[in-house]
Structure 1
Amino acid sequence: MEQQTKQICAMLLLGGMLAAFLPAAGQSEDPLSRYGIYAGSTHAHTIFTLSHGAQYDRKPGTKKILFVDSSTHVSTTINTTLKPGWEKYQGLPAMHYALAKDNGYDFYVTADHSQEAGFHPTSPLSAAWLATQEEADKATDSSFVALRGYEHSENDGPGGKGHINVINSATYINALEPGIDLAYFYRWLDTVSANGDGPVVATFNHPGARQYDDWSGREPGVTDVITMLEVINSNNHIHYAGFINALDRGWKVSPVCGNDNHGTEGIADNTSRTFVLAEKRTKSAILEAMKHRRTYASLEQNIRCAYTVNDEIMGSTLKPADTYQFDIEISDPDTGNPGDRITKVDIVKDGGQVVQTYTPAPGHSVRWKPVIRDAAAKYFFVRIWNAGGGDAPHADPKKPVAWLAPVWTGK
């Protein structure tokens, strides 16, 4: 009898413990509890970007030579004065991945220009393409994800201009080869196969306000591949106008930071980051987070941000509604640094219009749950300020420090 009583008590205790961790009847799991927040960069160039970079002497009067391949019409400008020990300045992909891991990145994307010499002829068997993937595979482990991409760049028209990073594709194309305009590229991107685990994703790089043929040519297929846009490029260059115009033209893109370092020194020096909300720190999970637009870009290298709207995670397309319940969580672990205190939060909608602003008593942790009623908005996103303006050079507390993924209303 005593033994039976003990078993019943144990079962009751276990049931109580489980109840504490499981949602109550009729309640859904907290969407934020599913995800970890991982930091990295979506844009970097290795030694395979031969035409320019940190390996060359930038002194005035340095000689440059223009090479033109008559069969492909590919032109490459080569600065012929290399620094002593030049290999260490630009670095093979393996060096980039190792330094990124040593400097606390959770993921790191290399994306060399596909018109560079190592990618000729255009083929999935080109030396640079194979070498970068081999080194990415070797560098990836439980604490770090190395990703190979390429930059579709120097596409000078006709049909629009603009650089785009393609991440995790099985092959690549060259924007300078005849007939490869943006329309061709968008069709190709809609059909290209992934390289192993995870989807193919892409990001608009350092966009001008009216770039990419003024954001035209969008089709549903490519909209689900180009899911990101560089709001931050090269650590502190902001491309907010391009972000707003892309959203207003129907592109469903979330903010990222591509440090765009053409050399290894930027890996440690650059402090801005792309953050992703991913279920695990694996290649497939990081890429799935990018595909589903669960990203944000920040000039502050370790700020933690996430939000839901109507119980749907940032990056989502919501069910039809006219009332939107936001739940915004922001924190910074550097509680000893007054410059990292959160000072303002905006909710922004179509055309960059600020819908509502919250100015908390500055602190390192903020929770805000506003309700917005709007029958016409097509998207909302969140901007954040802190007291110091971030870790990047020329930090300005009068400007935003982070931009979070939108949610789309389906209207």
Structure 2
Amino acid sequence: MKSTSHLPRLGAFAALIALLSCAPALAEDYNCYFGNTHAHTTYSDGKQMPSDHYSMAKAAGYDFYAITNHALAKYKGFTQESYEATKKEADKFTDAAFVAICGFEFSENDGPGGTGHLCALNTTGYLDATGNEVNLPVFYDWLTKQKTTVAASFNHPGVNTYDSYGYLTASRREEVQMYEVINSGKPHYEGFIAALEKGWRVAPIAAEDGHGTGRIKDTYRTGVLATSLTRENLMQAMRARRVYCTWDKNLRLQFIANGRIMGSVLASPTSLEFTVIVSDPDTSDAGDAIAKIEIVGKKGAAVASKEFASHEVKWTTTCEPKDDYYFVKVYTADKTDGPTAYSAPIWIEKAQPDSSTGGNDVQKN
């Protein structure tokens, strides 16, 4: 699934127009990169230094790896100096084959204003959840003010965490893009559906949440679709929700609707043509063969499915745009207890009959 951008083949004027239009890349222009978005070191409540994490992840074949220590004053090792040191280590380990990311975990927010942890990646600073008058709405709004390309995720979430996914506005929805459907080897699928039903536009990821380097050997990964492996490209892809979670370390997945890649929002389509592209390079392993693909809509209800027996599948089907979102579940031959991978959704934004009521609150009941 590796490919190169078509931009160099354009003429100078056409290339300029393509850049200025900021049009999304074609599906075949994306590479799949695999990594981890959540880990802790000795600077908070974990083990080993950032350099140990980054070096081990790099040696294990990860494309990217994020360190997200708890940003809490109670951890004496977590300071502005240690945060800057982690960023320097991330820069040191980043090269053409590996991207190291520094972020933090907003945690131990005990309310009022809701409870639940979140990671923020690639921030210049951090926000202590136990600070005076700091809560979830404050954190969401803090994210909107960041100057770097930042992505955020709901961590090890439940159905009713984050005050039942409250405090949602249009601007806040754009700042939390990802959801840990897999955390430390455990599924959190029901909460993912709850967040989608509340109106959050979040895409599934897999996070180790390791408090040491022990989980680097595990095989679940976050997949990111980006045109090349740079930190900025990965962060832009995460913000665009071009991500998915997989229990298999190298399963490649793309989900497309009406020519738009997963993570996109389609405005009032009259019909939907879905294309799912899945492959696993381990063709000698029969257990990695694609066994079934499901396209699901509202509340996770299946709207289409098909069985396969191949390591490389491209499937196209159509349906009426009845639901607010659609995503894909991929099943492989060796995993009998549920899907191996979940794609980012594609959202359907239906025309509103009357916009005169205005307001920025998009919370669903």
What is the TM-score of this pair, normalised by structure 2? 0.87
What SS does the corresponding residue of 2:293 show, helix, strand or coil?
Answer: strand
Q: Is the 8 A contact 1:208 1:242 kept in 2?
A: yes
Distance 2:205 2:314 in 1: 23
Match of 1:145 in 2: 99
Q: Could you list the runs of 5+ residues in structure 2 that have no partner in the other structure?
A: 1-8, 11-22, 351-365
Q: Is the 8 A contact 1:37 1:275 kept in 2?
A: yes
* Paired AA for residue 312 in structure 1: R
- Residue 29 of structure 1, CA deviation: 10
- Residue 266 of structure 1, CA deviation: 1.5
Q: CA RMSD in A?
A: 1.7
Superposition misfits of 4+ residues, deviation over 6 angstroms: none
What SS does the corresponding residue of 2:266 show, helix, strand or coil?
Answer: coil
- Residue 289 of structure 1, CA deviation: 0.5
Match of 1:117 in 2: 76
Match of 2:296 in 1: 348
Match of 1:188 in 2: 142
* Paired AA for residue 226 in structure 1: V
* Paired AA for residue 147 in structure 1: I
Distance 2:168 2:147 in 1: 20
Distance 1:184 1:365 in 2: 45
Per-residue CA deviations over 1:333-363 (Å, capped at 9, x if unaligned) read 1111111011111111111111111112x11
Q: Could you list the runs of 5+ residues in structure 1 that have no partner in the other structure?
A: 1-17, 20-27, 54-89, 121-125, 390-396
Question: In the alignment, does 2:338 pair up with 1:384?
Answer: no
Match of 1:100 in 2: 57
- Residue 193 of structure 1, CA deviation: 2.6
- Residue 270 of structure 1, CA deviation: 1.2
Question: In the alignment, does 2:139 pair up with 1:206?
Answer: no
What SS does the corresponding residue of 2:210 show, helix, strand or coil?
Answer: coil
Match of 2:16 in 1: none
Distance 1:169 1:151 in 2: 11
Q: Is the 8 A contact 1:343 1:385 kept in 2?
A: yes
Per-residue CA deviations over 1:23-77 (Å, capped at 9, x if unaligned) read xxxxx99821211110000001111123xx4xxxxxxxxxxxxxxxxxxxxxxxx
- Which of 307, 313, 316 aligns to 1:366? It is 313
For the structure 1 residues 46 and 388, does the alpha-carbon distance in structure 2 shift closer, same or farther, using more than 3 Å as the test?
Answer: same
For the structure 1 residues 30 and 141, does the alpha-carbon distance in structure 2 shift closer, same or farther, using more than 3 Å as the test?
Answer: closer
Distance 2:317 2:226 in 1: 25
What SS does the corresponding residue of 1:222 show, helix, strand or coil?
Answer: helix
* Paired AA for residue 404 in structure 1: S
Q: Is the 8 A contact 1:276 1:296 kept in 2?
A: yes
Match of 2:198 in 1: 249
Question: In the alignment, does 2:121 pair up with 1:174?
Answer: no
- Residue 184 of structure 1, CA deviation: 1.4
Match of 1:64 in 2: none
* Paired AA for residue 372 in structure 1: C
What SS does the corresponding residue of 1:187 show, helix, strand or coil?
Answer: helix
Report the structure number with the largest CA radius of gyration.
Answer: 1
What SS does the corresponding residue of 2:58 show, helix, strand or coil?
Answer: helix
Q: Is the 8 A contact 2:140 2:175 kept in 1?
A: no
For the structure 1 residues 30 and 107, does the alpha-carbon distance in structure 2 shift closer, same or farther, using more than 3 Å as the test?
Answer: closer
* Paired AA for residue 111 in structure 1: T
- Residue 192 of structure 1, CA deviation: 2.5
Match of 2:19 in 1: none
What SS does the corresponding residue of 2:310 show, helix, strand or coil?
Answer: coil
What is the count of residue pairs matched by the alignment?
329
* Paired AA for residue 162 in structure 2: Y
Q: Is the 8 A contact 2:288 2:332 kept in 1?
A: yes
* Paired AA for residue 307 in structure 2: T
Question: In the alignment, does 2:214 pair up with 1:275?
Answer: no
- Which of 241, 248, 256 aligns to 1:293? It is 241
Question: In the alignment, does 2:177 pair up with 1:227?
Answer: yes
- Residue 265 of structure 1, CA deviation: 1.9
Question: In the alignment, does 2:256 pair up with 1:304?
Answer: no
- Residue 118 of structure 1, CA deviation: 2.3
Distance 1:377 1:295 in 2: 21
* Paired AA for residue 208 in structure 2: N
Distance 1:370 1:157 in 2: 45
Q: Is the 8 A contact 1:31 1:308 kept in 2?
A: no
- Residue 111 of structure 1, CA deviation: 0.1
Tell me which moved more, 103-112 or 320-329.
Answer: 320-329
Question: In the alignment, does 2:187 pair up with 1:238?
Answer: yes
For the structure 1 residues 161 and 30, does the alpha-carbon distance in structure 2 shift closer, same or farther, using more than 3 Å as the test?
Answer: closer
Q: Is the 8 A contact 2:42 2:77 kept in 1?
A: no
Match of 1:134 in 2: 88
Match of 1:49 in 2: 44
Instruction: Write out aligned runs for 1:154-169 (5 A).
Output: 154-169=108-123
Distance 1:38 1:193 in 2: 25
For the structure 1 residues 261 and 29, does the alpha-carbon distance in structure 2 shift closer, same or farther, using more than 3 Å as the test?
Answer: closer
Distance 2:238 2:71 in 1: 22
Q: Is the 8 A contact 1:118 1:127 kept in 2?
A: no
* Paired AA for residue 343 in structure 2: L
- Residue 373 of structure 1, CA deviation: 1.2
Distance 1:387 1:38 in 2: 23
Distance 1:153 1:261 in 2: 15
Match of 1:402 in 2: 341
What SS does the corresponding residue of 2:178 show, helix, strand or coil?
Answer: strand
Question: In the alignment, does 2:201 pair up with 1:262?
Answer: no
Identity of aligned residues (%): 40
